[in-house]
Structure 1
Amino acid sequence: MLYTTLRFIIRYILLIWRRWKIVGRDNLPVSGGVLVVSNHVSNLDPLVVGCALTRRIHFMAKVELFKIPILASLIRMLGAFPVNRERSDRKAIRMALEYLQNGEVVGIFPEGTRSKTGELQKAQIGAAMLAVKSNTPILPVALIGTRGIFNKVVVKIGEPLYIPELWRSRASKEQLEALSEQVMKEIERLINNQ
């Protein structure tokens, strides 16, 4: 109930204040686990992605946010779960895999942190590893204009990337890095494709 209500309010604000536009909304699979990956330039990004897609998203969020009492309660109610970015967080990985294997949507920013310049950064291999281990497609999402407070926001949702050749395999670090790079190139293509 809270998720639906907040989503409605934020969507209205984005429409009126930021004149947002969503391209490719139908690319989100209607059922089954999906790993949503996006570029990250603003604190607004999880809200924008969560409101742009029609299915509820469980975001992997930095553990520091869960140390702020009121915010921690709110983001937990909205489905976020903590990840420690300083080390390999097995608990966060297990939680993400559980959501994906139960047919839910997990959101992750593969760059690991916000880009201070707005330019795409090199992706960590965590998102690729989650997709391989859970046998789920990756949905690339490009965010444009979320930085600042007056820019028009554009959300471009790419086609899901299915990787059956890697599912149920022990993908090497090189394969995971190549997949991560492929995903970031698709996000870059979406950003640049006006």
Structure 2
Amino acid sequence: MAPGRSDEHLDLLLERARQHPPGRLQGAVRTVARLSARLWRTRYEGLDHVPQAGGTLVASNHGSYLDHFFLACRIDRPVNFMAAAELFSNPVAARLLSALGAFPVRRGAHDHATIETAQAIVERGGLVVIYPQGGIRPSLEGRPRHGVGIVALSTGAPVVPAAIVDATSLHRTGFLRFPKVTVRFGEPLRPGREDPPDQEDAERATDAVWRRVVELFGAATQRG
């Protein structure tokens, strides 16, 4: 796909995510996913911390290509999440991902359009999953990107920290092996509202969220 057409294609997908929540396909996949999650002996903690309605952000570590699956299959409401723009290059894949609640993010750039899309989804009462680490990372090291702080401050939405433990082992054991996975949600953080948000304030808000994700990860690891 030519660069110009690619940008136009991505912009259309972003606009669709801003205007429309995920369709029935996400609900159908969630039902199947809940059955499949038993293969990984998935344990969920703190699900009651996820608001059932209203604009919400969920911020999680990102150690596996199945993190979307583990998070969304037990959240009983439509879920939107960011995914690498490269995954949307195929028209069929793009339609499928869009129907499942994904919207594209251009890596390696300050993608203002993606941030604005997340803001629009939250402002219409939707839930957006953000991975502050960006792409898949096997550890929690490194400073998080501050997009979650920008969206939280600009919308005033609560941020639910989440930790996914042992999903990274899927990359070592293979798809047909089923290590035990724990998904732990913490109490929502409320950074307040500041529109437009100051960059330093956005970084501080992001750092506060990320510290909580790390704490949840450590606590879940200790509990085994």
Alignment TM-score, normalising by the size of structure 2 = 0.80
Match of 1:88 in 2: 110
One-letter amino acid of the counterpart of residue 139, structure 1: V
Alignment identity in percent?
32
Match of 1:51 in 2: 73
Work out which of the residue numbers 113, 118, 123 in structure 1 matches 2:139: 118
1:52 alignment partner, SS class: coil
Match of 2:25 in 1: 2
Cα gap change, 1:3 to 1:172, in 2 (>3 Å): same
How far is 1:53 from its partner? 1.5
How far is 1:97 from its partner? 1.0
Aligned-residue CA RMSD (Å): 1.4
Match of 1:157 in 2: 185
How far is 1:56 from its partner? 1.4
Distance in 2, matches of 1:179 and 1:10, equals: 32
Match of 1:14 in 2: 37
Work out which of the residue numbers 176, 194, 210 in structure 2 matches 1:168: 194
Match of 1:139 in 2: 160
1:136 alignment partner, SS class: coil
1:107 alignment partner, SS class: strand
Unpaired runs of at least 5, structure 1: none
Distance in 2, matches of 1:89 and 1:169, equals: 18
Q: Which runs of 4+ in 1 moved over 4 A?
A: none
Distance in 1, matches of 2:106 and 2:196, equals: 24
One-letter amino acid of the counterpart of residue 25, structure 2: L
Distance in 1, matches of 2:187 and 2:134, equals: 22
CA contact (8 A) 2:30 2:74 kept: no
One-letter amino acid of the counterpart of residue 159, structure 1: E
One-letter amino acid of the counterpart of residue 6, structure 1: V
Work out which of the residue numbers 150, 155, 158 in structure 2 matches 1:129: 150
Match of 1:186 in 2: 212
Greater Cα radius of gyration, structure 1 or 2: 2
How far is 1:25 from its partner? 0.5
How far is 1:66 from its partner? 0.5
Cα gap change, 1:175 to 1:151, in 2 (>3 Å): same
Deviations 1:43-89 (A, max 9, x none): 00011111132221110111011113433221111111111122222
CA contact (8 A) 1:128 1:180 kept: yes
Q: How many residues align?
A: 190
How far is 1:182 from its partner? 1.1
2:163 alignment partner, SS class: strand
Unpaired runs of at least 5, structure 2: 1-23, 171-176
Alignment TM-score, normalising by the size of structure 1 = 0.92
2:73 alignment partner, SS class: helix
CA contact (8 A) 1:39 1:120 kept: no
